[in-house]
Structure 1
Amino acid sequence: MTTAPKHLKLTVAATALLALAQPAAADTLRLLTWGGYAPEGVIEMFEAETGHTVEVTLSNNEEMIAKLRATGGGGFDLAQPSQDRIAGPQEEFGIYKPMDLSRIDAAQFIPSMLEATKDNTTVGGEVYGVPHVWGTSGLVLDTAKAGMVADYTDLCAPEVAGQVSYRLRRPTLIGFAFAMGMDPFAAYGDEAAYAEILEQVESKLIECKPNVKTYWGGGDELMNLVRSGEVVAAMAWDTGGWKLNEDNPDVTFVAPASGALGWVDTFVLPAKGQADDAAYAWINFVMQPEVAAMITEVAGNFTASKGADEFAPDALKAKYQASFTPEALDNIKWYPPVPAGLEAIEGGVLDRVKAAN
């Protein structure tokens, strides 16, 4: 999930006002999206090929939901919230309409990603989202010094004592749970079962504290710790590991044996969208591998387009393919919506881990 390019920021407010104030013609796609997901070059190609025009409003998850709630799902024809922001808002506010999957070229998607997103965005038997841009958190390692680290719990191994870092946040709890052979996502609907899983994770994280150099809070902090050599094994994002690899070829992102933790920004149809033809045309256009690679080059993250990595810049393609075998891609654990009540359980666990001696 990237920030808006500077050359687009000046138009965001004006575009948003226009989009909300007036209906668009059927051949105009009003797209509510993240910075980098609709590059100018891609828009130009799409408009030339299809005859549709595109009006882009840049946003983030919170703003997308707020805009669509304010209009009952009006003002836009296609939006791109993260997949964990679909089922809940739809159940509560009815701001989306179901996808007509017969109009989606499913062959262009990585199958496991398409199926996971369909599952996580199903409400009342209807699918409301398909995947677009994705990323993961997993292990960032100095492979020359921490090559034995293959999963999250290996961060507790004596070989890396005092040289480990991770955040005291939900991904750490989830990652450790999977590495310990449990499925926290399967327990999301049962608070007692979830609390029992986190109790075991809490004990493990307290046991692991002597290995932790520091709990990192921001990406720049972690990058500096790894660059200085103070940290040789960490939990972090794939793009951070690839960026560090440019400075030190021994450092890279590794998908954990129990599965990297994945987020997905999707395509959804706002309930009152007026240009479904243009919306489906856009989805099928940008999921073409060559076009998807253009988005990856701008956004920095890969898409769910099957085979698009082959068209990415050579350096980025090499890092991606080294980190993600086909098996590792299929093993990604995609974040589902978080039920109410779980954040309080997680917060208590994280507080106790932090306070433990």
Structure 2
Amino acid sequence: MSRFDRKTRKQALVLSAAVVVAGFTGSAAAEELRLITWGGYAPDEVVAQFEKETGIDVKITLSNNEDMISKLRATGGAGFDLAQPSQDRIVGVQRQFNIYKPIDFSRVNTDQLQPSMVKATQDSTELDGNFYGVPSVWGTSGLIVHRSAADTVKDYTDLCDPAVAGQVSYRLKRPTLIGFGFALGMDPFAAYSDQGKYESILAKVEDKLIDCKANVKTYWTGGDQLLALLRTGEVKAAMAWDAGGWKLNAENPDIRFVAPASGALGWIDTFAIPRRSENEDAAYKWINFVMQPEIAAKITNASGNFTAAKGADAFVRAELADAYRASFNDAAINNIKWYPPVPPGLEAVEGQVLDRVQAAN
């Protein structure tokens, strides 16, 4: 074997070894995005387009808030490159478990995003001067109203109007307490930091809900149950989610989702970077890719919920876009009351109020 051949063979062996080592040390992961998210937030066609344009493989794990927290807590923020927790489920978890890293907004194309939602998410996810979330998909609780009750029911407390007695439904859950609080002219979210003040708000809401019991056909517990009540006309007005209202509107134009006068109650599912993400670059590429209006519209078409992307409604399927525009003009968007993080102990107090309302005659 010539000196040249021995040298070439030695270089080839070194290169081969390097490739093997790279495979075992995870370099291949640089071409993979591990995303933990909700159903409908990463449609197949969106994933395929991202993979084609970037060369990055996307591995999807479907989840919910509790499961995301559990998985990331168990690994100290490892196992995923991007997560999508709700905006009010980040700060408390981060303070306790340190599973996320701050968002670098210089890497986020915020020009694509609704400014009010960026602000709401930053306000909800700020900890020690850092922000831990970027707005992604959002939705609201408000009113689903049949045309026959539209002149009567324009805010949560209008569900107690005698004109709709026996034709009303809502859940005995915390959104109802909060919505009624706003409709009564108070600000429950501003009172979160003062439990005594919050309890005084709840006392007024409790009285109102007890007085309102005669109007309630039933307290709904599941979405399918409520949709059936509205379809049959047994219920003419309800407090419920926007996506359910838009679904019914597609079936019957006489039924609409209405943003209440005191403001719809808004949740935002975010993008958050796990603390031990192995492919941050891919995470930011995904965020900027899916928040393009035409791509974001595909997420809305798949999930039924709108995104924080500006102008995406222009590309959403027509019937859903029309229903959205009928529910939310700019003023209604800016009037959304976004859920802040829930302080410890508050939900226990709310639960006691709801139990008393349920038990009242």
- Please give the TM-score of this superposition, normalised by the length of structure 1: 0.92
- Once the two structures are TM-superposed, the CA of residue 24 in structure 1 deviates from its matched residue by 5.6
The match for 1:328 among 328, 332, 337 is: 332
Answer whether contact 2:250 2:320 (CA < 8 A) is retained.
no
The match for 1:151 among 123, 142, 155 is: 155
Answer whether contact 2:250 2:319 (CA < 8 A) is retained.
no
Compared with structure 1, are the counterparts of its residues 24 and 236 closer, same or farther at alpha carbon in structure 2 (3 Å cutoff)? farther
- Is 1:131 paired with 2:131? no
Q: How does 1:169-318 map to 2 (within 5 A)?
A: 169-318=173-322
Distance 2:27 2:154 in 1: 53
Distance 1:105 1:330 in 2: 21
Distance 2:357 2:329 in 1: 34
Answer whether contact 1:22 1:75 (CA < 8 A) is retained.
no
Corresponding residue of 1:10: none
Distance 1:32 1:99 in 2: 17
Corresponding residue of 2:6: none
Distance 2:27 2:234 in 1: 56
The match for 1:25 among 22, 26, 29 is: 29
Runs of 4+ in 1 over 4 A off after TM superposition: 21-24
Compared with structure 1, are the counterparts of its residues 40 and 203 closer, same or farther at alpha carbon in structure 2 (3 Å cutoff)? same
- Once the two structures are TM-superposed, the CA of residue 194 in structure 1 deviates from its matched residue by 0.6
Distance 2:28 2:43 in 1: 21
Distance 2:172 2:92 in 1: 26
Secondary structure of 1:25 counterpart:
helix
- Is 1:71 paired with 2:75? yes
- Once the two structures are TM-superposed, the CA of residue 23 in structure 1 deviates from its matched residue by 7.8
Answer whether contact 1:146 1:159 (CA < 8 A) is retained.
no
Corresponding residue of 2:347: 343
Corresponding residue of 1:109: 113
- Is 1:166 paired with 2:165? no
Secondary structure of 2:78 counterpart:
coil
Q: 1:41 is aligned with what amino acid?
A: E
Q: 1:213 is aligned with what amino acid?
A: K
Secondary structure of 1:134 counterpart:
strand
Distance 1:54 1:103 in 2: 20
Q: 1:300 is aligned with what amino acid?
A: G
Distance 1:42 1:260 in 2: 29
The match for 1:59 among 63, 74, 87 is: 63
- Once the two structures are TM-superposed, the CA of residue 226 in structure 1 deviates from its matched residue by 1.2
Answer whether contact 1:24 1:274 (CA < 8 A) is retained.
no
Compared with structure 1, are the counterparts of its residues 69 and 146 closer, same or farther at alpha carbon in structure 2 (3 Å cutoff)? same
Q: 2:182 is aligned with what amino acid?
A: F
Compared with structure 1, are the counterparts of its residues 24 and 149 closer, same or farther at alpha carbon in structure 2 (3 Å cutoff)? farther
- In structure 2, runs of 5+ residues without a counterpart are 1-24
Secondary structure of 1:38 counterpart:
coil
Distance 2:349 2:72 in 1: 30
Distance 2:316 2:181 in 1: 33
Answer whether contact 2:265 2:337 (CA < 8 A) is retained.
yes
- In structure 1, runs of 5+ residues without a counterpart are 1-20
Distance 1:209 1:58 in 2: 38
- Once the two structures are TM-superposed, the CA of residue 25 in structure 1 deviates from its matched residue by 2.2
Describe the superposition over 1:185-206 as per-residue Cα deviations: whole angstroms up to 9, x where unpaired.
Answer: 1111111111010001011111
Q: CA RMSD in A?
A: 1.4
The match for 2:39 among 31, 35, 39 is: 35
Distance 2:37 2:223 in 1: 23
Percent identity between the two aligned chains: 66
- Once the two structures are TM-superposed, the CA of residue 22 in structure 1 deviates from its matched residue by 6.8
Distance 1:190 1:328 in 2: 28
The match for 2:100 among 96, 101, 109 is: 96
Compared with structure 1, are the counterparts of its residues 270 and 165 closer, same or farther at alpha carbon in structure 2 (3 Å cutoff)? same
The match for 2:145 among 119, 138, 141 is: 141
- Once the two structures are TM-superposed, the CA of residue 322 in structure 1 deviates from its matched residue by 0.5
Answer whether contact 1:165 1:213 (CA < 8 A) is retained.
yes
Q: 2:74 is aligned with what amino acid?
A: A
Distance 2:235 2:150 in 1: 10
Distance 1:166 1:37 in 2: 27
Distance 2:290 2:78 in 1: 23
- Please give the TM-score of this superposition, normalised by the length of structure 2: 0.91
